[in-house]
Each structure stands twice: as C-alpha cells, then as structure tokens.
Amino acid sequence: MAASRELKDELFDALADVARALGSGPRLALLDLLAQGERSVEDLATAAGLSVANASRHLQVLRRAGLVSTRREGSRVHYRPAGDDVLALWLSLRAVAAERVGDVERAAREYLGDEVEAIGRAELVSRLGSGDVVVVDVRPRFEFSAGHIQGARSVPLDELEARLAELPADTEVVAYCRGPYCVYAHEAVRRLRAAGRRARRLEDGWPEWRLAGLPHDAELADGPSAKERTA
C-alpha cells in the first residue's frame, strides 16, 4: 500500500505541474496572446510588456508543462498553443475565475470601463446569414491574418475613425477582438456610437468563435510589423 500511495502522489504531482505553470499572471497573458495566433518570443515580450529574457523564462515553464509548442525560423523561435485543448483549458479557467472570484469582475470593470451592449455568438451567426450586419475585427492586422470570423473586415482600432466611411451607415456594426477582457471591442463600440452608428460588441472573441467550430477564415501572415508588436 505504501508503494501504491507513493505512485498516486507522483501522479497528482505531475498533474499539479500544469496548474503551477498556469499560476502566473504573465504566463496567462502570454497564453491569451497566443490564442490569437503564433508569435515569436520577441513579439510576445513586446505585446505583454515583458523583457525578452523574462518572456522566454515564462514560455519555457509553459513548454515544460506541455502547454505550448515551438517552431524555429532562422534565429527566431515562434510559440503557439500545444493544441485546442490548451486553449479550452485557458478559457475554462478564465470563466471559472470570473464566476467564482469577485475581484475578477471588479478588475475587469476598472480595466474595460463602463459596459457596452453585447451580442452572443448564436445571434450573430443568424444575423450573418441574413446579411444585415457588418462585422469588424478591431485587433491588430496580423492577428486578423492569422484567423478571423468569416466575412469580417479588418479595421484595427487605431484606424476606426479614419475608415468610418467604409462602413454602411444604415447597418449595425458588431466589433470583436481577443475575448471578453479585450478592451479594443469595448472602445470601438463607444467610438462608433459617438459617431452616430448602431454598434455592439461580440460578447466573447476570436478564440471562442474558432473553438466553437463557427465559420472562419485565415490568410497568410508575414508577421507583425514593428508598430503592431506594441499592440
């Protein structure tokens, strides 16, 4: 029995390695970025506000836990989630925390500002079928290139006002970005409504849409520009 107990403890300790890898705000932020598409260590570091050395250390922890995989291109190492199950785990963790931990909702409201009206995936799918809605992806352009909702237009947030004339004035606009805690879609809706447009945000984001098996497209991406790496 003692040997059996030791083996059981070893098993659960191995399972705990994954939990320990996820037990870090910066590592979760890196996973959230990787949910949008593959990125290099340098790009991840810039987007997450980390030094390259610090980002690399966090990514190595995630890799040892089997949560991310790599691809080398010349001197650059590119990271991506090890599978859709990893993305599902991250989204489930986030949902449980939002439901069970009051500080998550408080922090989200302080970060995102006042709530804006949202539309669910099922309603948006129906509306897309009828063609009476325009969907705009307000993430950086290279994230759109990695994958996006079928039929969506790439209108990064910092281009929205300049390109407002491209959007039909008599059609509702639905903006989406990285997920429910991504500020881009909230801000896009505020700007669109200030300009007199009917607008809502998708209640979640691109990773949830893709994992649900809903219609989507991907283009070939050349990687983020220097400006986009700061997004």
* Predicted TM-score of the model (pTM): 0.88
Query: What is the predicted pLDDT for the residue at 218?
Result: 80
Where residue 77 falls (left for φ over 0; alpha for ψ -120 to 50; beta otherwise) is beta
**Residue 70, strand partner residues:** 79
How much is the mean pLDDT over the chain?
Answer: 93
Whether 36 contacts 231, CB under 8 Å? no
Ordered mean pLDDT values, 10 residues apiece, the chain (231 residues): 86 95 97 96 96 98 98 94 97 95 93 95 94 96 95 97 96 97 97 97 97 85 43 47
Burial class (CB in 10 A: 0-12, 13-18, 19+), 2: exposed
Query: What is the predicted pLDDT for the residue at 2?
Result: 72
Query: What is the predicted pLDDT for the residue at 223?
Result: 44
**Residue 134, strand partner residues:** 173
Q: What is the pLDDT of residues 142-192, one digit of tens each?
A: 999 999 999 999 999 999 999 999 999 999 999 999 999 999 999 999 999
Query: What is the predicted pLDDT for the residue at 220?
Result: 45
Domains belonging to the chain, first-starting first, are 2-87 (1.10.10.10), 110-230 (3.40.250.10)
Catalytic residue positions? 177
Query: What is the predicted pLDDT for the residue at 219?
Result: 59
DSSP per position, 71-120: EEETTEEEEEES-HHHHHHHHHHHHHHHHH-HHHHHHHHHHH-S---EE-
